Structure 1
């Protein structure tokens, strides 16, 4: 039986990855910060930003634990980089040979056209920079492991019924006023969370020995304008109000400064504004051709239909 350790197993993507691994018959160890409600082989409850004593023997580590994509440098250094160092150190010490790291499209920076895995990595926000640092750290620390498989998944904009993207966008649209920076005409690749989980399964089944990098995305890049307007139509609300980027940047900066005084989490950060105004359209051709990936939702519109059917069923 294939055994996997999943970090960030309690998160939005992590829970779907665990579900897919369970369905495939894998023995799953879920690593979480809070009590874990789902049935798995074992659970390790630990704050991964703190040193680990050890990891159990396993065939694979799926490393998904990390902070919010709109976070700043300091938070990401204290979260993503610290967690990666601890997990990689213990995983290598435990003799684990096979690794999947959940990286992100943000490592490419401003994408011109559609990014393949050979595109330059020139991140423009802290989230992209820290993901690229973790990629390089993982490759460095595993380079002497023989017959290993180290796989980097550069994942597009993930959505699903429990995603931060859908819950926050839905809440703002329902309030009747949803400001959006710029025109929204920013090309990017979306991917349904179930298709992200499928990509992990494809890696375990088919990835070659050595280092591999794959983009994880649906088949049809779209724009934030397309996506947000479609969500508004499904909700029956007004679409977002598109504002000049300078106005939204000023709002985000002022809000962040105010939140430092009140010690609250800002609603919008300058990094989050940059996140949704940076093009990041991805090609999934390599993942499809080499590992047999076939997205269940090849277009974001099909995935959104499923998301809102599920939400209406539960409401």
Structure 2
């Protein structure tokens, strides 16, 4: 294995904080970014050289990448700073992340081209957003659902932009499932404990999950193997909401979730809960296992939720 200089854009996010130590442990030199100068110390403790960068400012991105002189760029930038998600106005809640996946991706790719960086790995999303037709489990060959006319449409448009430009540039796109692990779903678990996260209808919609450490390991492999193309980074068990939500509640020591009809869920919280819990399509990890040689240490959310919330 050749030691490389890795530039992690978005080093203080929930995945960045798990990714940096894994890269460092394998001997790589890491420069990682934050938008907040007070978090530079956090990056230092993780083993990275920290730098303040605004992912939505082309000049800021260009200067940071040029100064780091990386061999590889990993795009983990999001605009999710914690707080309870606004399901009903998810398009507003996710607006900054959508910009980072469009404008931010373009800025990073331009900086990669300007500095001759050929290895580029970017965060995408593949949990319940597979095309809503046919079987419940999708692969990289299946399109994402456009979510036309819903609050999720801007998110899918941003993800599609990211995937298109990164693949065309010869990079790798990692469609991570729904994260769980340290700090990843504290708000969700709190809602479940307060019985404010009901099961919608029969809960037939499927989702895919991934532990943060498994997502980080797949990312390390993608960097080291100069991977190209799209990979679904999910555990072995895509599952309907009727299975994973009661299990998560039990693991959290909460009472079983309430059940509400689809029309009421839409009235109270908009499109998102119904789409996810009634119509969602999960993803298969077969390609990532086959081509990256990756195996999740947490093969199923069933054990993972219990371990994380014990």
Give the TM-score taking structure 1 as reference length.
Answer: 0.81
The answer to whether residue 164 in structure 2 is matched with residue 136 in structure 1 is: yes
The aligned residue for residue 280 of structure 2 is: 279
The aligned residue for residue 62 of structure 1 is: 74
Any gaps of 5 or more consecutive residues in structure 1?
143-148, 254-269, 310-315
Give the TM-score taking structure 2 as reference length.
Answer: 0.82
Distance 1:238 1:192 in 2: 24
SS of equivalent to 1:108: coil
From the superposition, tell whether residues 77 and 178 of structure 1 become closer, same or farther in structure 2 (CA, over 3 Å): closer
Q: After superposition, give the CA deviation of every residue in 1:27-60 in whole Å (9 maximum; x if it has no partner).
A: 0111111223133341111221122242121111
The aligned residue for residue 14 of structure 2 is: 12
Q: After superposition, give the CA deviation of every residue in 1:118-149 in whole Å (9 maximum; x if it has no partner).
A: 11333322222211111112234x2xxxxxx5
1:114 to 137, 143, 146: 137
The aligned residue for residue 49 of structure 2 is: 42
The aligned residue for residue 23 of structure 2 is: 21
Q: Is the 8 A contact 1:59 1:97 kept in 2?
A: yes
> Which sits farther off after the overlay, 22-31 or 271-280?
271-280
Q: Is the 8 A contact 2:35 2:54 kept in 1?
A: yes
Q: After superposition, give the CA deviation of every residue in 1:88-107 in whole Å (9 maximum; x if it has no partner).
A: 22222121110111111166
Distance 2:273 2:158 in 1: 15
From the superposition, tell whether residues 67 and 277 of structure 1 become closer, same or farther in structure 2 (CA, over 3 Å): farther
Q: How many residues are matched?
A: 282
Q: Is the 8 A contact 2:166 2:173 kept in 1?
A: no
The aligned residue for residue 304 of structure 1 is: 305
The answer to whether residue 247 in structure 2 is matched with residue 230 in structure 1 is: yes
The answer to whether residue 190 in structure 2 is matched with residue 171 in structure 1 is: yes
Q: After superposition, give the CA deviation of every residue in 1:10-33 in whole Å (9 maximum; x if it has no partner).
A: 111111111211111110111111
SS of equivalent to 1:110: coil
Any gaps of 5 or more consecutive residues in structure 2?
none
SS of equivalent to 1:96: coil
SS of equivalent to 2:143: coil
The answer to whether residue 189 in structure 2 is matched with residue 195 in structure 1 is: no
From the superposition, tell whether residues 202 and 127 of structure 1 become closer, same or farther in structure 2 (CA, over 3 Å): same
Distance 1:272 1:84 in 2: 28
Q: Is the 8 A contact 1:13 1:193 kept in 2?
A: yes
From the superposition, tell whether residues 118 and 176 of structure 1 become closer, same or farther in structure 2 (CA, over 3 Å): closer
Distance 2:236 2:197 in 1: 28
From the superposition, tell whether residues 157 and 278 of structure 1 become closer, same or farther in structure 2 (CA, over 3 Å): farther
Distance 1:107 1:186 in 2: 10
> Which sits farther off after the overlay, 41-50 or 296-305?
41-50
Distance 1:134 1:96 in 2: 17
User: How far is the alpha carbon of 1:229 from its aligned partner?
Assistant: 0.9
SS of equivalent to 1:228: helix
Distance 2:129 2:113 in 1: 25
